[in-house]
Amino acid sequence: MSYENACDVICVHEDKVNNALSFLEDDKSKKLLNILEKICDEKKLKIILSLIKEDELCVCDISVILKMSVASTSHHLRLLYKNDVLD
C-alpha cells in the first residue's frame, strides 16, 4: 500500500470530526442499518432496484422479473411494505 498521499503532519480537523460524529449520533446510521437488514435478501433488493428503475410495477411484472410465482412475489412485497421499506 502506498502512503504517498498520507498526511505528513497529524492534524485533526475538529469541526469536521464533530460534524461527522453528530451526524452519526443522530440515529441516521441505526435507521439505515435497520432498513439494510430488511433488504439483505437478493429478491427484496431486486424488487427495490426494479422499482427505482421503473416507478411503478405491478406484482405480475415483478414476478416475471424475479422469475417467481405471484404469491411469492406478493409475500416479499408485503414484507417490504410491513417494514416501511416501500410505501
Q: How is domain 14-82 classified at the CATH fold level? A: Arc Repressor Mutant, subunit A (1.10.10)
* pTM recorded for the entire structure: 0.64
For the chain, give every domain's residue range.
14-82
pLDDT digits 0-9 by tens, 5-50: 666 778 888 999 999 888 888 777 888 888 888 888 899 999 999 9
Three-class SS of 1-64: CCCCCCCCCCCCCHHHHHHHHHHHHCCHHHHHHHHHHHCCCHHHHHHHHHHHHCCCCCHHHHHH
